[in-house]
Structure 1
Amino acid sequence: MSSLVRAPPLLFPATARHTATVIFIHGLGDTGHGWASAVENWRRRQRLDEVKFILPHAPSIPITCNGGFRMPGWYDIHTIDGNAESLRKHEDEPGIRASQAYFHDLIQKEMDAGIPADRIVIGGFSQGGAMSLFAGLTAKAKLAGIVALSSYLLLSLKFADIVAEAGNVNKDTPIFMAHGDQDRVVHTELGRKSHQLLKDLGYKAELKIYQGMQHSACLEELDDIEAFLKARLPPLGNNKDGDAKPEL
């Protein structure tokens, strides 16, 4: 996996002084451009002016459920039938770990550029949401928040051991999870089970179910994400000390 060719992420600079960063990860078969319109909508509303958005592009890899043909993916998927056991049986741990390292590197680069970890949110949709949970909760620095849309918890059978080994510094990091009640790709029940597992492990995870939504996003959900980001990354204005506190 070390020889993967990765295109540079799509970047949306902050429109005011850059004090916070959101890394948002697309789903299987998509690119960072797939979420550009959502970011542009948030920017037009001018509530996240100090936020830089990073929309990474997955490398093209063989996907088993796609007949082995290459497509953008963060890890291989053997079967997409919405069933938890199918996903657990053939999880691509090497691929998941390679993407985890890539996202940890993106986080570190933002920190090296002067953005503190508690002003960084990682999020994503579907496969990207699964990676945001996994990479976010195993990050070595405490993040501002995690967003996971229409997704599920990776390597769930040994996740508790994995985060313990990583130091579990994001045990108290707020997590916003969202799912449509008509999702037939990543079944709603799988999202519920992942949320419950995180709650059982003591994480601050919130799950919102959207009526009538399939494996997609809706305007209400995008508004809720914006509200979560604004609460976790409040504007600092010209305050150089950066002592603004996120809303609880």
Structure 2
Amino acid sequence: MTPTVKAPEYLKIDSASSHTASVILMHGLGDSGRGMYPTANMFHQDPAFKHIKWILPHAPVRPIRANGNHKMPAWFDVYNFQFEGEEDEAGMLESIASIERLITEEVDSGIDPGRIVLSGFTQGGAMSLLTGLTTKRKLAGLAIMSGRLPISHRIKEMAPPHAASLPVFWGHGIADPLAKYVFGQVSVEFMTKEMGFPTAPATGEAEGIEFHGYEGLGTGMSREELGDLGLWLKKVLPAKK
């Protein structure tokens, strides 16, 4: 019998008022939910987001092949940092199932799936994509920071019909030497050409993929990027009146 996948351990920042929306914010390779706390807390301090609960999960510790099998927190193994060839599909599927458990906990607490955003930085962004594009629940949207879409050869067959209607925010540092800008470009091109995602309209509605490249930004998130993310979040998770 296959053991039941558990939700990952996590930090949380409860909503400052009536809880009507949730953001699951996933860290990158080698980090933890604590590394995402300053970003989540910054948004939490904004009255526009007082209705949002922030969930900051911790990835399990595992050996990373591309780093000499040194153990570190990771949502899946990395075989090489060029992301070429075989990938850790089993690890990705396991993490999808664990993040699904977090979504289920929010839904069971009374939050509509359409009021949940999956978001993440680098490897956490990859998990936001993999989970958001394959879950049967239609979420409010996906927010990707310096991420990429792994196992794209599987995604089309795994994605439910509503996947291409999800709003997506995508920010990427053009100068990032690790999570290279081209990884984001190739991923977005695949999603638009192969999966039918539209490009976000110039009128600013929360539709399609809103892609931003940030000049001079290396590994990390800039104030400009977080400002753009905040504007997008206000559109996809507005406070209920």
Shared fold (TM-score, shorter chain, > 0.5):
yes
Classify 1:50/1:100 alpha carbon distance in 2 versus 1 (closer, same or farther; 3 Å).
Answer: same
Partner Cα separation in structure 2 for residue 108 and residue 88 of structure 1: 33
Partner Cα separation in structure 2 for residue 233 and residue 12 of structure 1: 16
1:188 maps to: 181
Partner Cα separation in structure 2 for residue 58 and residue 182 of structure 1: 26
Q: CA offset at residue 107 of structure 1? A: 0.7
2:16 maps to: 15
Q: CA offset at residue 184 of structure 1? A: 1.0
Classify 1:2/1:34 alpha carbon distance in 2 versus 1 (closer, same or farther; 3 Å).
Answer: farther
Partner Cα separation in structure 1 for residue 3 and residue 74 of structure 2: 15
Partner Cα separation in structure 2 for residue 5 and residue 102 of structure 1: 6
Conserved 8 A contact 1:62-1:71: yes
Partner Cα separation in structure 1 for residue 111 and residue 11 of structure 2: 18
The answer to whether the aligner puts 1:173 opposite 2:191 as a matched pair is no
Task: Count residues in correspondence.
Answer: 229
2:203 maps to: none
Question: Aligned AA for 1:162?
Answer: M
The answer to whether the aligner puts 1:103 opposite 2:107 as a matched pair is no
Q: CA offset at residue 5 of structure 1? A: 8.9
1:146 maps to: 142
Q: CA offset at residue 7 of structure 1? A: 5.6
Aligned-pair identity in percent equals 36
1:73 maps to: 74
1:48 maps to: 49
Q: CA offset at residue 143 of structure 1? A: 0.4
Conserved 8 A contact 1:180-1:211: yes
Partner Cα separation in structure 2 for residue 205 and residue 132 of structure 1: 14
1:210-229 to 2 correspondences below 5 Å: 210-229=214-233
2:153 maps to: 157
Give the root-mean-square deviation of aligned CA atoms. 1.7
Which TM-score applies when normalising by structure 2?
0.91
**Helix, strand or coil at the partner of 1:29:** coil
Q: In the alignment, which of 128, 131, 139 is matched to residue 124 of structure 2?
A: 128
Partner Cα separation in structure 2 for residue 7 and residue 125 of structure 1: 17
**Helix, strand or coil at the partner of 2:9:** coil
Classify 1:227/1:199 alpha carbon distance in 2 versus 1 (closer, same or farther; 3 Å).
Answer: same
Classify 1:6/1:23 alpha carbon distance in 2 versus 1 (closer, same or farther; 3 Å).
Answer: closer
2:25 maps to: 24
**Helix, strand or coil at the partner of 2:135:** coil
**Helix, strand or coil at the partner of 1:34:** helix
Classify 1:171/1:4 alpha carbon distance in 2 versus 1 (closer, same or farther; 3 Å).
Answer: closer
| 1:179-229 deviation digits (Å, cap 9, x = unpaired) | 111011021111101011111121222210001001211001111111111
| Gaps in structure 1 of 5+ consecutive residues | 238-248
Partner Cα separation in structure 1 for residue 218 and residue 16 of structure 2: 33
Question: Aligned AA for 2:32?
Answer: T
2:209 maps to: 205
Question: Aligned AA for 1:109?
Answer: E
Question: Aligned AA for 2:150?
Answer: L
1:55-66 to 2 correspondences below 5 Å: 55-66=56-67
Of residues 3-12 and 30-39 in structure 1, the stretch that sits farther from structure 2 once superposed is 3-12
Which TM-score applies when normalising by structure 1?
0.88
Question: Aligned AA for 1:110?
Answer: E
Q: CA offset at residue 4 of structure 1? A: 8.8
Conserved 8 A contact 1:137-1:168: no
Conserved 8 A contact 1:26-1:32: yes
| Gaps in structure 2 of 5+ consecutive residues | 198-207
**Helix, strand or coil at the partner of 2:164:** coil
